[in-house]
Structure 1
């Protein structure tokens, strides 16, 4: 989808229809930002790292930029499973028609809002971006163009995007933010199928890996872990909310659906009364539920994480090497994708060293202080930015930003400041034991493990 015929008055109309996001739900105002703890359904926000400055380092010149960008906030996806639009639309109907027998006579019943509630999830809008999602991507494109303006000296810019509509539309709004109505002349889109035909060029991770999909790798283990944790964290909520219903016992799926209604209503209208049903600790446990799923799927608890993320890292490394060898003069690289793919790439980069296949996250309790938090790393519109600098010592240095916050690299030394600044000298970064297999052989490893066929599409990450 392109916006060639869209004019600025249309964008102004969309922006004008989007209300300002609330930073806290009413219940937790000034104490807990619930919307930043909804796993990968969280609103966009910067993670809480060590406070490293994201300013360009002194005496260094930015030479190359890589953007790995998730789509913006969206409607639920199509289908009838518990997180999908069809199922949640049924829950909405049941709340309205009384199938969920709410006892409004109970004092302090937190479901009182249902009396005047207007549902917003519509299956016909499944998979589509929300208005806030469109605005998020437009604003990010504008900010990126402003921050890295010196690198934008080409006539046409390649935009790599997973082919799913919401990802393509996100890329479109992003480039519209960068170039305005000139985007039609300044962009060349490369669409990557979300199946095995993409091979190692995938921007959809496991979907391009036949072996992973056919053997259903990690599915049984992930399902077992989530089932064990589900009973632990949802049972107390059921017990607490049951008295507000007449002759009805809530199920785990019921409680989960209330969480998802909270998250998707925030995505669609920036606030939700369903969020007020939960305490901060319950929300933190819902967040952990997401972190368990991602961790065992293609994250740090999976033996396949480096395989799924390694092909992207290999292409990234080749681009970093090429500019330092003066064999490639391309300065900006754009790739638009999904949360699962970004999380796999970050895992393969070594971002979550406290979690491994041998030492996974526990299913019986929430340890709280662990690295792989999907809320922080892959919220709606989340991104991984890789910057390459050339500094006064003539050496090249790499730095990662997660949602525009500098990630504290610790495995490959320091930048020219010789202090913890999030930078690593290029060769030390590429050859660190944490990622050397991916930087040197990520594509070959993916092809071998997945039995993938080489593709004719050349993608520049």
Structure 2
């Protein structure tokens, strides 16, 4: 596939850079099965890998396992070799959102695969209303652990192998488990999540998508850029299916904003010195909760893995290996690590991740919402068709040029990270009715007013900000959906359908329009 990136950013002003990127559609070298059902040499794996890439290049659509033909056979062999040999459920259903065992996978915090959150407010466009503007803010798709985490997980597995005397029952698989996860890269499963997301966005806003191509920006990390490219692939394929017309300017232009130290980037925090060097309140809140819920789990693990003498931290490492190994499978096949823990323990794990986000980047951190002010002010500019008014993290060189920050558009798509989205949600006043989370008692979403890490920033998370015109209304209305859940807009007096007038919505963003607490960033 051609790169979906046509670099439009040149070196100028506040750390703007020119980039070229080519998406990698399979990371087979990082995601081989620990116990492959076939013993195949590297050359054969390479051939299958190239055929998979060729198929994706030519088809530009969702990848299915085909039951016939040469391509189908090659795909079947490829996934048989690099996929999971465990006789567990395959999660290859678009309808089900590519998730396995939702009673578990929806409680993995930010490591949950994307899923549609149930909405108390109807998600359909209200009668006699028409969408006039749609902005998606998306997290990248499922990825490998970060480099630091992958080293930590590998060390935990190596120590278990070196010290455990015997394995039995649900733990028997660990004896032959070879840690093979990569670091930081988008997985095949994550690529598919983003293709699905692009297709869904097109279909959701079809009346606009038929006539308008989104203006696309991405933060500069590889997995985010590749996610944006995969998203455009899905959007483009849906347009072809709908209009039978492929000449729509694909691959689309994309602005890539550098994540280099000191870069002005509203899609990646890093400029606010006091925030970056301050105490990690998220880690502190998590440490308290770990000391409460993890000891019984650690005791059970050590009983079943005699000689391991696992710590609480290593217990969490083993829990992390459930989602990470699952999304390393091309079809999201549930990892056997998942079966080592109960449903209640997964709920506690989910709350652990929720505490980390809330106190690390949300309202629980004094400077958390400030990290989302720049993007919020850009959103105001797009909603009101006026120049950006901001003195925080915005790149004023890019935002001052029509080519790199056009106004008056109908569709916009931005791609970022979970931490940055958490800060942006706080700056937008979303989840404002969530009171400070307890770190000694688990709370569910009914007690947190709909806030959790899994509900807000799973892999491939997406927030939609809509404007609509409605019969009988004198001004446009604004509505926000996070992972298909309409978020009540309480700070601007939202109606029963979750909408505020544009003027009231902008007025409610006084925190961002005033710069948040940016003046405290450099003291």
Does TM-score exceed 0.5, indicating one fold? Answer: yes
Do 1:48 and 1:376's aligned partners in 2 also have CA atoms closer than 8 Å? no
After the TM superposition, which residues 11-22 of structure 1 pair with which residues of structure 2 at under 5 Å, given as runs? 11=60, 14-16=63-65, 20-21=91-92
Distance change >3 Å, CA 334–CA 247, structure 1 → 2 = closer
1:238 aligns with 2:298: yes
Q: Does 1:370 align with 2:448?
A: yes
Taking the aligned partners of 1:374 and 1:262, their CA distance within structure 2 comes to: 17
Q: 1:9 is matched with which residue: 46, 55, 58?
A: 58
**Which residue, 193, 205, 217 being the options, matches 1:160?**
217
For the pair 1:267 / 2:324, whether they are aligned, the reply is no
Shift of 1:136: 0.8
- Does the CA-based 8 Å contact 2:140-2:415 persist in structure 1? yes
Q: Is 2:142–2:460's contact at 8 Å kept on the other side of the alignment?
A: yes
**Residues 1:330 and 2:394 are matched in the alignment:** no
CA positional deviation for 1:209: 2.2
Q: Distance in 2 between matches of 1:374 and 1:408?
A: 17
Q: Deviations over 1:400-454 (max 9, x none)?
A: 1111222222333345xxxx1111111122223xx3222x334xx47544459xx
What's the CA shift for 1:304? 1.2
1:42 paired with 2:42, answer no
After superposition, give the CA deviation of every residue in 1:92-136 in whole Å (9 maximum; x if it has no partner). Answer: 3444xx32415336xxx4302335x544633xx311111111111
* Aligned with 1:142 (options 186, 196, 199): 199
SS at structure 2 position matched to 1:399: strand
**1:328-372: CA deviation from partner (whole Å, max 9, x where unpaired):** 43111111000011111112222223446xxx3222222332143
Segments of structure 1 that go 5 or more residues without pairing to the other structure are 453-461
SS of the aligned residue for 2:448 comes to coil
Q: CA deviation at 1:11?
A: 4.7
String of CA shifts for 1:255-293, please: whole Å, max 9, x gaps. 111101111011112211111111111111111111111
Q: Tell me, yes or no, if structure 1 residue 281 matches structure 2 residue 333.
A: no
CA gap of 1:272–1:427, structure 2 versus 1, over 3 A, is same
Equivalents in 1 of 2:167, 2:130: separation in Å?
63
Instruction: Check the 8 A contact 2:371/2:420 in 1, yes or no.
Output: yes
Cα distance change of structure 1 residues 132 and 182 upon mapping to structure 2, 3 Å threshold: farther
After superposition, the Cα gap between the structure-2 partners of 1:67 and 1:175, relative to the gap in structure 1 and judged at 3 Å, is same
Is 1:307–1:449's contact at 8 Å kept on the other side of the alignment?
A: no
Query: 490, 495, 502: which is aligned to 1:410?
Result: 490
Local SS of the residue matching 1:424: strand
Residues 332-347 of structure 1 mapped to structure 2, 5 A cutoff: 332-347=411-426
Distance 1:308 1:182, change over 3 A: farther
In 2: Cα distance, 1:141 partner to 1:289 partner: 30
Looking at structure 2, the residues matched to 184 and 328 of structure 1 have their Cα atoms a distance apart, in angstroms, of: 20
| Residue 437 in structure 1 maps to residue 511 in structure 2 | yes
How many matched pairs? Answer: 416
1:304 matched residue in structure 2 = 367
TM-score under structure 1 length normalisation: 0.81
CA distance in 2, matches of 1:72, 1:355: 27
Classify 1:261/1:184 alpha carbon distance in 2 versus 1 (closer, same or farther; 3 Å): farther
Deviation (angstroms), 1:59: 1.2
Counterpart position of 1:90: 155
Residue 204, structure 1, aligned to residue 279, structure 2: no
CA deviation string 1:151-210 (max 9, x = no partner) = 2366764311010000000000001111247676452211112245332x42012x2323
Counterpart secondary structure, 1:335 = strand
2:62 and 2:501 mapped to 1: Cα distance? 46
Q: What is the CA distance between 1:303 and its match in structure 2?
A: 1.5
TM-score by length of 2: 0.72
With over 3 angstroms needed to count, the CA separation of the structure-2 counterparts of 1:195 and 1:154, relative to structure 1, is farther
Change (3 A) 1:139 1:183: farther
The equivalent residue for 2:252 is: 187
Name the CA shift for 1:287/1:102 in 2 (closer, same or farther; >3 Å).
farther
1:57–1:127 CA distance, 2 compared to 1 (3 A): same
Distance in structure 1 (CA, Å) of the matches to 2:443 and 2:213:
48
Aligned residue for 1:265, secondary structure, equals helix
The CA distance in 2 between the partners of 1:197 and 1:390, in whole Å, is 40
Q: How many Å apart are 1:3 and its aligned residue?
A: 5.4
Change (3 A) 1:343 1:251: same
Matching of residue 315 in structure 1 with residue 378 in structure 2? yes
In 2, Cα distance between equivalents of 1:194 and 1:285: 33
CA–CA distance in structure 2, aligned partners of residues 47 and 102 of structure 1: 43
Q: Which runs of 5+ in 2 are unaligned?
A: 1-20, 25-52, 66-74, 80-89, 238-245, 387-405
Instruction: Tell me the equivalent position of 1:456.
Output: none
1:65 to 2:129 alignment: no
Distance 1:196-1:126 versus aligned 2 partners, 3 A rule? closer
